[in-house]
């Protein structure tokens, strides 16, 4: 079998959005369309997720109303069933070949109706929507089922449900059952809407192989406040987990005549890389895109291993190589490359063909001169934001030229920045050459997206990986040869057991590690494995057969992209047959949704495909929908808007939402995070209340908030205000090895503010990096970005993270000093650091600020001026002067305080 693309796990999410639009007027006492029950049941059996969303509604008005049912599901998921039950009559969705559904589709378009019920939304989701007219007092039950195989991404699997009922629901319940025979090693839950009060509605139970997460809030728990009928349940619910792994790195699981083989060995060393970064610097990259590219590339260069070799090729109309040959990733060379990267400017056209051929020539030259280390892996990473405009501009010719030049020797990864580039062109270019394509969304976190992609391919573990099974035991096996295995990902092979297969299924996985052949052996007792999946509570019938069909279809669709015209027909025929046989809505099938007589005859559900135009007007941040009246008491979805764009025109008063934009009725959600680990002893986050109440009197412009206000334990003086007057490069603010915490920062003297502050918890492998733009939380190479005032609630073993609506981020633990970060927007605007429970610092604390928690001695005030004192710290004297400052720990613009001011 031909070697296929490498296994590079992509971030996979399962997303639920239910929105039945309702009146939004302040005088409404009840919703005409009442959701009296909303349930989500997701069963994850051996990574395969089967999710059922059921909504029951009743029309409590005296006239017919229109109810709209929406669900967001991941792009990689396949819808398998949809039905409506209206007055006891079931109206099913029927899955057909696209050609068979074309008549209904054409008729719907001719009537001016939106025939495609599924459309892409955001980065990873597709939105399913159907509307139906509901008679007075009539009830309707909507049910949607979709399935997906979760992929391992940087060491974890992720299941995400988005819940937005937009009204109180009498019976609201989510149940997530996970069954992993290998054993569950990590389990966390996160939520964008859970608070300490609502957390009581969440229960998590777990044993070695099973987990059950239930969220079942009462009506009162759903309410924002006793006076309000609005719901607080609005946002994301995430489950993240990983499994135990044996030394062999493999696990074979068998159910009802089908098997799946998971392979992710632990403890292997990374293979050295030879990397060519090919960077588009054409005119369309001007501005923020080239700035973010430079920022990301500098971080990526820092992550190169000293064993790696690299070079940079930048292109517009002309093509420039940084060095004439590959360079070792020594500290000196990396610093030189970072300096070169900082100077890249955007202008001119787009010569993709020439740049790619130059990159291949650099690798070919090194290969011919025997400069590529034995057993190393060669990668080309292309980043571009537009179609070719200079040199060879025919996409097919470029694909042909690049494939011919690479000749199967190197792997090509293509990153499309934004939507002005043909994704189909980049996808084929990558798949033809053993890599994959990824879209980089234009947003404030674009640099982080680039860095995250690099982390996925940064650590190759094996090359030329092949799976072998006894020919008399299995048949119809999915892809069993892979070019590359990367750290944090997982290879998956599935197949069917033959009728007379042996009682023991054996497998051999072979690959190359640093020019050495390495083999892994795995065996599974068929009868014993079959017993594993006999608990109906945790699995659904024939799930492994459906897993095999799902994986086969996905691989066939991928093969179609790079297949010749002659090969495509056979691949499409097989993928279509499987799609129809297993009732999957794929790009080759459609589902016809029937409706009651007198309404629209039918609507057609079709699987969207990634292209260059579909997302152009879709915000890349969080999806927010607005509803408004449509005629006489009818409500439905009319558009979408990014929550992020509303932060500048929308505020919050102690839990009361005020909106400066009239009549749009926009609700937005902001992320919380919640992990399944226990919180502090009282379960409460003791933060600083920064609620806005009225208008504070203006303070003199000369009074500023200092960079730091330090509470000093055991001192009779009140607080110490620290100003930075001398700073060069990053500084260590705090370091306490006993607490496992370090705080560093970069202070810009010319702007008199910090450009960033970073808190590192070494024992937790967690970093929190704050900049004026956002906060980035990185754990085990996985990063998440949050805007200031984007509510955050996360509890994990050993740490609790909370950010309130005023933007105060607190990092706390029962045994640690509490560290706060804040983007202060009062006088002296900038990042600020807060410290609580400073008595918990150990005697080994050090740093610019940490020194003040060692032996500190206050000299008596001067006899002639009691506003001045001398502060002796570790043998050094500092002059302290009594001054008026702004307390940034109070509501902006801050309260005036008197403190001892020290300049460092």
Question: What three-state secondary structure class fits 367?
Answer: helix
- pLDDT greater than 80 at residue 656: no
- Say yes or no to pLDDT of 739 above 60: yes
> Can you give the pLDDT at residue 395?
92
CA distance 435 to 427: 9
pLDDT in tens, 254-293: 999 999 999 999 889 999 999 999 999 999 999 889 998 9
Helix (H) or strand (E) holding 451: helix 446-457
pLDDT > 80? residue 105 = no
Percentages helix, strand, coil for the chain (3-state, rounded to 5) are 20, 40, 40
User: What is the spatial distance between Cα 700 and Cα 714, in angstroms, rounded to a whole number?
Assistant: 33
Give the confidence band of 1 by pLDDT, cuts at 50, 70, 90.
Answer: very low
**Between 485 and 14, where is the model more confident?**
485
The whole-angstrom separation of Cα 855 and Cα 874 is 7
pLDDT digits (tens, 9 = 90+) for 703-731: 777 888 888 765 555 688 888 887 777 89
Q: Is the model's pLDDT at 372 over the cut of 50?
A: yes
Burial class (CB in 10 A: 0-12, 13-18, 19+), 298: middle
| C-alpha span between 151 and 10 (Å, rounded) | 7
Question: How does pLDDT run across 523-537, given as a tens digit for each residue?
Answer: 999 888 888 887 666
The fraction of the chain above a pLDDT of 70, given in percent, is: 81
Q: Which two tokens stand for residue 200?
A: 């009581």
Written as one string, the DSSP assignment of 623-653 is: EEEEEEE-SSS-EEEEEEEEGGGGGGGEEEE
> Among 97, 92, 78, which Cα is nearest to 148's?
78
pLDDT tens-digit series, residues 540-550: 778 999 999 99
Core vs surface per residue 793-809: b (16+ CB within 10 A) or e: bbbbeebbbbbbbbbbb
Q: What is the pLDDT of residue 651?
A: 32
Sheet containing strand 491-497, strands side by side: 250-255, 258-263, 491-497, 474-475
What are the angstrom distances between the C-alpha of 790 and each of 164, 193, 647, 805? 17, 11, 9, 6
Q: Whole-angstrom Cα distance, residue 19 to residue 164?
A: 6
Pairing label, strands 460-468, 504-513 = antiparallel
Q: Which residue's structure tokens are 């580039």? A: 421
Residue 159: C-alpha distances to residues 262, 555, 608, 681, 801 (Å): 19, 22, 21, 29, 21
Instruction: Please give the C-alpha separations between residue 29 and each of 23, 60, 140, 167, 218, in angstroms, as whole numbers.
Output: 10, 12, 22, 12, 19
For residue 893, cis peptide bond before it (omega within 30 degrees of 0): yes
User: What Rg value do the Cα atoms of the chain yield, rounded?
Assistant: 29
The answer, yes or no, to whether residue 621 has pLDDT greater than 50, is no
Name every residue whose Cβ is closer than 8 Å to that of residue 712 and which is 6 or more positions away in sequence. 719, 720, 838, 852, 853, 856
Residue 864 pLDDT greater than 90, yes or no: no
Q: Considering the entire predicted model, what is its pTM?
A: 0.79
Query: What pLDDT score does 367 carry?
Result: 93
Task: Read off the pLDDT of residues 786-842 as tens digits, 9 standing for 90 and up.
Answer: 888 877 777 776 788 888 777 888 888 888 889 989 887 777 778 888 888 888 888
Average pLDDT of the residues in 31-55: 93
Using the CB atoms, write b or e for 749-773: b if 16+ within 10 Å. eeeebbebbbbbbeebebbbbbbee
DSSP state of 270: P
Dihedral pair phi/psi, residue 439, rounded to 5°? -90, 135
Spatial contact of 402 and 354, defined as CB atoms under 8 Å apart:
no
Q: State residue 654's pLDDT score.
A: 28
Q: What local confidence, expressed as pLDDT, does residue 103 receive?
A: 62
In whole angstroms, give the CA distance from residue 411 to residue 315: 20
């Amino acid at each position: 079998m031909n070697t296929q693309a490498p296994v590079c796990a992509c971030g996979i999410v399962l997303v639920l959005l239910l929105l039945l639009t309702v009146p939004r007027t302040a005088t409404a006492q009840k919703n005409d369309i009442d959701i009296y029950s909303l349930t989500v049941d997701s069963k994850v059996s051996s990574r395969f997720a089967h999710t059922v969303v059921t909504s029951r509604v009743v029309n409590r008005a005296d006239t017919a109303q229109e109810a709209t049912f929406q669900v967001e599901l991941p792009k990689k998921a396949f819808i398998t069933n949809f039905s409506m039950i209206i007055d006891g009559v079931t109206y099913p969705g029927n899955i057909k070949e696209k050609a068979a559904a074309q008549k209904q589709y054409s008729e719907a378009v001719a009537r001016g109706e939106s025939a495609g019920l599924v459309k892409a939304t955001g980065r990873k989701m597709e939105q399913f929507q159907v509307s139906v007219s509901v008679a007075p007092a009539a009830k309707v039950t909507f049910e949607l089922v979709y399935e997906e195989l979760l992929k391992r991404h940087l060491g974890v699997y992720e299941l995400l449900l988005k819940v937005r009922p937009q009204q109180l629901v009498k019976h609201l319940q989510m149940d997530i059952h996970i069954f992993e025979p290998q054993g569950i090693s990590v389990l966390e839950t996160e939520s964008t809407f859970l608070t300490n009060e609502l957390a009581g509605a969440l229960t998590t139970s777990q044993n070695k192989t099973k987990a059950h997460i239930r969220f079942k809030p009462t009506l009162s728990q759903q309410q924002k406040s006793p006076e309000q009928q609005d719901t607080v349940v609005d946002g994301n619910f995430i489950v993240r987990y990983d499994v135990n792994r044996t030394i062999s790195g493999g696990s074979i699981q068998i159910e009802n005549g089908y098997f799946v083989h998971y392979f992710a060995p632990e403890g292997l060393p990374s293979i050295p890389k030879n990397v060519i970064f090919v960077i588009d610097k054409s005119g369309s990259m001007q501005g923020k895109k080239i700035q973010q590219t430079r920022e990301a590339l500098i971080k990526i260069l820092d992550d190169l291993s000293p064993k790696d070799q690299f070079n940079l090729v930048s292109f517009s109309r002309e093509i420039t190589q940084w060095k004439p040959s590959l360079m070792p990733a020594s500290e000196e060379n990396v610093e030189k490359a970072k300096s070169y990267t900082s100077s890249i400017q955007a202008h001119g056209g787009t010569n993709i063909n020439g740049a790619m051929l130059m990159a291949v020539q650099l690798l070919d030259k090194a290969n011919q001169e025997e400069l590529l280390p034995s057993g190393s892996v060669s990668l080309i990473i292309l980043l571009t934001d537009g179609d070719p405009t200079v040199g060879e501009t025919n996409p097919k010719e470029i694909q042909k030229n690049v494939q011919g030049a690479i000749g199967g020797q190197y792997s090509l990864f293509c990153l499309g920045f934004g939507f002005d580039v043909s994704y189909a062109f980049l996808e084929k270019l990558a798949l033809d050459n053993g890599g994959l394509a990824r879209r980089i969304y234009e947003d404030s976190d674009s640099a982080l997206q680039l860095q995250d992609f690099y982390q996925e391919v940064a650590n190759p573990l094996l090359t030329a990986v092949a799976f072998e099974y006894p020919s008399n035991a299995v048949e119809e096996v999915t892809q069993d040869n892979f070019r590359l295995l990367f750290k944090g990902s997982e290879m998956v092979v599935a197949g069917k057991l033959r009728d007379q297969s042996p009682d023991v299924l054996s497998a051999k996985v072979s690959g190359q590690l640093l020019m050495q052949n390495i083999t892994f052996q795995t065996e599974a007792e068929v009868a014993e494995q079959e017993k594993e999946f006999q608990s109906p509570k945790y699995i659904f019938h024939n799930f492994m057969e459906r897993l095999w069909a799902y994986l086969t279809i996905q691989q066939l669709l991928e093969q179609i992209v790079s297949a010749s015209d002659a090969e495509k027909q056979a691949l499409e025929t097989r993928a279509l047959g499987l799609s129809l046989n297993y009732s999957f809505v794929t790009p080759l099938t459609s589902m016809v949704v029937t409706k009651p007589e007198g309404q629209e005859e039918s609507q057609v559900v079709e699987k969207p495909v990634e292209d260059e135009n579909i997302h152009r007007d879709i915000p890349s941040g969080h999806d927010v929908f607005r509803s408004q009246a449509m005629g006489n008491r009818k409500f439905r979805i009319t558009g979408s808007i990014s929550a992020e764009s509303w932060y500048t025109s929308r505020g919050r008063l102690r839990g009361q939402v005020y909106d400066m934009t009239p009549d749009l009725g926009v609700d937005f959600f902001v992320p919380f995070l919640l992990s399944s680990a226990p919180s502090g002893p009282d379960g409460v986050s003791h933060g600083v209340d920064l609620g806005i109440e009225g208008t504070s009197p203006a303070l003199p412009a000369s009074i500023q908030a200092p960079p730091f206000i330090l509470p000093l334990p055991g001192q009779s003086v009140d607080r110490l205000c620290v100003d930075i007057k001398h700073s060069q490069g990053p500084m260590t603010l705090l370091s306490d090895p006993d607490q496992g915490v370090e705080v560093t920062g970069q202070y810009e003297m010319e702007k008199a503010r910090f450009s960033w502050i970073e808190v590192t918890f070494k024992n937790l492998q967690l970093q929190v990096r704050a900049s004026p733009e956002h906060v980035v939380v990185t754990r085990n190479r996985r990063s998440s970005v949050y805007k200031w005032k984007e509510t955050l609630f996360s509890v994990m073993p050993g740490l609790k993270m909370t950010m309130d609506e005023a933007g105060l981020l607190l990092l706390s633990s029962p045994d640690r000093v509490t560290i706060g970060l804040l983007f202060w927007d009062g006088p002296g605007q900038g990042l600020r650091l807060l410290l609580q429970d400073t008595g918990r610092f150990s005697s080994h604390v050090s740093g610019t600020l940490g020194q003040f928690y060692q032996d500190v001695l206050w000299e008596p005030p001067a006899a002639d001026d009691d506003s001045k004192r001398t502060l002796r710290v570790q043998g050094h004297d500092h002059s302290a002067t009594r001054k008026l400052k702004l307390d940034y720990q109070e509501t902006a613009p801050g309260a005036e305080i008197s403190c001892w001011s020290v300049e460092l």
